[in-house]
Amino acid sequence: MAAVEKSEPENNFALALREAFYAGLLSFGLFFLFVGLETTQNIRNELILVQRWGLLATLVALVMVVRFVFVAFILPAAERRKAHKAASNVVAEPNFVSRNFSKLAIAFLVIFPAIAITLSGLQGSLKWIDNFGIQILIYVMLAWGLNIVVGLAGLLDLGYVAFYAVGAYSYALLGHYFGLSFWILLPMAGILAAFWGVILGFPVLRLRGDYLAIVTLAFGEIIRLVLINWREVTNGAAGISGIPKISFFGLFTFNVSDPNYIAKVFDLPTSSVYYKIFLYYLILALCLLTAYVTIRLRRMPIGRAWEALREDEIACRSLGINTTTTKLTAFSIGAMFAGFAGSFFAARQGFVSPESFIFIESAIILAIVVLGGMGSLIGIAIAAAVMIGGTELLRELQFLKVVFGPDFTPELYRMLLFGLAMVVVMLWKPRGFVGSREPTAFLHERKTVSASFTKEGHG
Amino acid sequence: MSNGPLLQIRGVETFYGNIRALNGVNVDVNAGEIVTIIGANGAGKSTLMMTIFGSPRARAGQITFDGTDITNMPTHEIARLRIAQSPEGRRIFPRMTVLENLQMGASLDNLKYFDEDVEKVFTLFPRLKERITQRGGTLSGGEQQMLSIGRALMARPKLLLLDEPSLGLAPLIVKQIFEAIRELNKTQKLTVFLVEQNAFGALKLAHRGYVLVNGNVTMSGSGKDLLSNPEVRAAYLEGGRH
């Protein structure tokens, strides 16, 4: 056994070198015409051949290195882990981090603005709080809202962004025409979106699966087209701008010109970062509200009915569950959270236009729910952070311009990233990051321990 | 309770599109009885069971339960009258645990009697207690059938409809399940309406039986009588007993 172990790494390296060589050969053959040569027009409109040997060499080298690392290190490591797991044959007790993951994550999110300001200064933290923090949390909230419809009730909704639009436009329009404050309009936007959820829900009650998906997709487009074409009210494709900022419950505001501007009240240097920090905590609170409501609902009759509906509609009916109201509540509660997120979005941007509510947004939110693992709040939050954070990170990768030329804009490749992530996750974890479902029923209620932290398998 | 049978089916006709599946069926189930419907594949047994539950709806005829006309009621409201069903193919919730499945069965009373009733189900099917945190989809066929019946019992039914509980199960398990049904009927006076292809077992268990052929009831009588009837023997017992 010892002898085998000794010779293993050398064998691995030889094998990896050989594999890397073949991969390089293959990629050279593939990319030679695709990448190495490019046809373009010169100034006299003639077709010329541009040779890009440097780029070709980079790509081939990249493929070889990745293949080498994969065969030499990653594969054996995976094998060893598998063997180790099989040998020990004991379910490992989850360690401290994984046991308290959600608590730690919330703690991190609460101190995140402080970390950002300490690390990159008051103005430098703007990017981290706004582009990363707020942006990711908006998608977390949207995905958690959609999770109620898709993950729990099992109703495939491809037009979820419509409710987001309803929320955003309710705030924008009611704030614009009637001058109502955000704190009044936030619940109103939620109620309006929920109302539209019911409106959509009624005609599609009898539909399931693919048919439902098509109709919801159409609904999303209808809402967007109405927003574009109802110019008298929505100002068409130009959108609505000058949406008022949110005030801190009227105590102080974030407009420099106001007498109770926060910096004047607290005697701080003037900066736009306060408003962003305020927005960050606001969306964090909204997210936590969504999570809390979802967790509570899952333990209530209506939440159980949603999950049962996802599993088997016919069985549900024969158990006396009214599937009509069950579906409608799922639609409207999911829509309500999209409405909240929408009005927050409008307040944050200060501008809404139909362009923000295109189909691809629905697709991204759905992708986050599927990647995260349908029904799992933590998985979905991780997926949102990876997907949206990853997209934002692409903007930071300016060094790629050195490799791919100055015209290369990494953020245009975000869909490629999405696709890649989808394929990888579906290969390794077909049920998403967190694929296992937390049971909600236990034989003897344990009132002292929150059930979301108790592990599976007791009772 | 009104006089007369608990469940009364009168002249029920059911169609799938233009195809007639039930052709004026009359069946009575009295309180406290085990009544079985036997018949070959495609005779309309499961259709009859589903028609009682309102999907598909009967195009003609009348179904009354406990004095209430349920012919045109929505399925979930029929269930609320305390008719419980273990449907064909069992239809348990595969991703939910055994306990959660049972919980779903108790939704009518909003879990008021849950602790008490769950113990009863576990006494009847001790196997389920061993599997309490296991997901429904990972159970064996027999355990799934037990769960399906257990889930139906959690609704505290007045009438239990069982659609082919023996389907695809080992003979020993079938015997266990039939034994449990007999037990329920004896100790709790539960009325059971049983659809079966396993004619021998079903007729031995039932007080009365009906034979369904091509959507028509061709014969009825006590379980014992039907068992000894030469026509029934020829069509469903000697041929089917292997």
Residues of B within 8 A of A315 (CB-CB) are: 87, 91-93
pLDDT score for A8: 60
Cβ within 8 Å of residue B185, ≥6 positions away: B32, B34, B191, B192
Chain A CB contacts of B87 below 8 Å: 314-315, 318
Closest by Cβ to B93, choosing from A308, A323, A443:
A308
pLDDT at B1 over 70: no
Distances (CA, A) of A56 to A21, A51, A60: 15, 9, 6
Neighbours of A54 (CB within 10 A): 11
Which has the minimum average pLDDT: A123-137, A251-265, A308-322?
A251-265
Q: Average pLDDT in the A130-149 region? A: 95
Residues A78 and A128 grouped into a single domain: no
Q: What is the pLDDT of residue A43?
A: 84
Give a yes or no: residue B39 inside a domain: yes
CA B242 to chain A, closest CA, distance in angstroms equals 33
Mean pLDDT of chain B: 91
How many domains is chain B built from? 1
User: Which structural domain, as residue segments, surrounds residue A185?
Assistant: 121-428
Contact yes or no for A394/A417 (Cβ under 8 A) = yes
Tokens of A292: 């809390």
H or E segment and range at residue A144: helix A135-146
Confidence class of residue B210 from pLDDT cuts 50, 70 and 90?
very high
Q: In which domain, by residue range, is B71 found?
A: 1-82+159-165+190-242
**Residue B96 included in any domain:** no
B143 has pLDDT over 80: yes
A318 and B53 within 8 Å at the Cβ level: the answer is yes
Q: What CA–CA distance (Å, rounded) separates A426 from A417?
A: 14
- Distance in angstroms (rounded) separating the CA atoms of residues A197 and A189: 12
Strand, coil or helix: B110: coil
Residue of B nearest to A298 (CA): B100
Whether residues A311 and B75 touch (CB distance < 8 A) is answered with no
Of the partner residues A315, A323, A443, the one whose CB lies closest to the CB of residue B87: A315
Q: Do B96 and A319 touch (CB under 8 A)?
A: no
**% of chain A beyond a pLDDT of 70:** 92
Out of B75, B94, B103, whose CB is closest to A317?
B75
* Residue in A304, A314, A443 closest to B104 by CB: A304
- Asked whether residue A318 is domain-assigned, the answer is yes
Across the range A237-264, mean pLDDT stands at 81
| In contact, A339 and A197? CB cutoff 8 Å | no
Averaged pLDDT, A2-8? 49
* Alpha-carbon gap, residue A417 to A79, rounded angstroms: 27
Q: Give the nearest chain A residue to B153 (CA atoms).
A: A319
Which ranges constitute the DSSP H helices of chain B? 45-52, 75-80, 98-105, 114-124, 126-130, 141-153, 171-188, 199-205, 223-228, 230-232
Q: What is the total count of domains within chain A?
A: 2
My answer on whether A136 and A64 are in the same domain is: no
* Nearest-CA distance B65 → chain A (Å): 15
Nearest chain B residue (CA) to A322: B76
**Where is A377: in which H helix or E strand?**
helix A377-396
Residue A186: is its pLDDT beyond 90?
yes
Does some domain include residue A411? yes
**Is residue B126 a part of any domain in this protein?**
no
Q: ipTM of this model?
A: 0.89
> Average pLDDT of A111-120?
89
Instruction: Answer whether B100 sits within 8 Å of A322, measured CB to CB.
Output: no
Structure tokens at B17: 């599109």
Per residue in A30-84, pLDDT tens? 888 888 888 888 888 888 888 888 888 988 999 999 998 888 888 888 888 888 8
Calculate mean pLDDT across residues A364-390. 90
Residue A268 domain flag: yes
> Considering chain A, what is the average pLDDT of its residues?
85
Residue A456 has what pLDDT?
44
Q: For residue B126, what pLDDT is reported?
A: 93
Q: Which residues of B touch A308 (CB under 8 A)?
A: 93, 96, 104
Residue B108 lies in a domain: no
Type of residue at A105? A
Q: Are residues A81 and A192 in the same domain?
A: no
Q: Give the helix ranges, DSSP H, for A205-236.
A: 209-229, 231-234
> What's the rounded mean pLDDT across residues A198-227?
88
A11: part of which helix (H) or strand (E)?
helix A2-31
Characterize the bridge pairing of strands B34-39 and B60-65: unpaired
Looking at residue A263, its pLDDT comes to: 75
Provide the shortest C-alpha distance from residue B53 to chain A (in Å).
Answer: 7
- Do A299 and A224 lie in one domain? The reply is yes
CATH code for the domain in which residue B57 is found? 3.40.50.300
Angle at A111 between CA A106 and CA A115, to 5 degrees: 135
Q: What is the mean pLDDT of residues A89-108?
A: 78
Residues of chain A with C-beta less than 8 angstroms from the C-beta of B108: 319-320
B147–chain A nearest CA distance, Å: 13
Lowest mean pLDDT among A9-18, A91-100, A122-131, A188-197: A91-100
Record: contact A312-B104, CB cut-off 8 A: no
pLDDT at residue A49 in the model: 85
What pLDDT is stored for residue A329 in this prediction? 94
Strand (E) or helix (H) holding A116: helix A101-127
| Average pLDDT, integer, range A303-325 | 92
- Cβ neighbourhood burial of A444 (10 Å; 0-12, 13-18, 19+): exposed
pLDDT in tens, A156-179: 999 999 999 999 999 999 988 888
Cβ within 8 Å, pair A304-B103: yes
Is A317 within 8 Å of B118 when comparing Cβ atoms?
no
Judge: A320–B96 Cβ closer than 8 Å, yes or no: no
Nearest-angstrom CA–CA distance, A412 and A389: 15
Whether the ω angle into residue A244 lies within 30 degrees of 0, i.e. cis, is no
Q: Is 90 exceeded by the pLDDT of residue A366?
A: yes
DSSP string, B1-65: --SS-SEEEEEEEEEETTEEEEEEEEEEE-TT-EEEEEE-TTSSHHHHHHHHTTSSPPSEEEEEE
Residue A26 has pLDDT above 50, yes or no: yes
Q: Do A260 and A248 contact (CB within 8 A), yes or no?
A: no
pLDDT(A449) > 50: no
A440 to chain B: nearest residue by CA? B100
Instruction: Specify if A447 maps to a domain.
Output: no
User: Can you tell me the mean pLDDT for A243-265?
Assistant: 78
Select the residue of B53, B107, B133 nearest A459 (Cβ to Cβ). Answer: B133
The answer to whether B95 contacts A442, with C-beta atoms less than 8 Å apart, is no
- Asked if the Cβ–Cβ distance from A308 to B104 is below 8 Å, we say yes
The pLDDT tens digits for A325-351 are: 999 999 999 999 999 999 999 999 999
Same domain, A38 and A164: no
In Å, how far is B31's CA from the nearest CA of chain A? 21
Is residue A391 in a domain?
Answer: yes
Rounded average pLDDT over B154-163: 94
pLDDT confidence band for A391 (50 / 70 / 90): confident
Residues A79 and A145 in one domain: no
Residues A81 and A127 in one domain: no
Closest to A370 (Cα-Cα) out of A423, A326, A334: A423
Q: Model confidence over B174-194: pLDDT tens digits?
A: 999 999 999 999 999 999 999
Residue of B204, B219, B178, B159 whose CA lies nearest to B33 = B159
CA gap B84, B151 in Å, rounded: 9
Same domain, A64 and A134: no
B74 is a domain residue: yes
Q: Are B191 and B31 in contact (CB under 8 A)?
A: yes
Greater confidence, A124 or B148? B148
pLDDT for res A77:
85
Q: What is the pLDDT of residue A448?
A: 43
Output the pLDDT for position A137. 96
pLDDT at A139: 96
pLDDT at A45: 84
Give the model's pLDDT for residue A343.
94
Task: Let me know if A363 is exposed, middle or buried by CB neighbors in 10 A (0-12, 13-18, 19+).
Answer: middle
Residue A340 belongs to some domain of the structure: yes
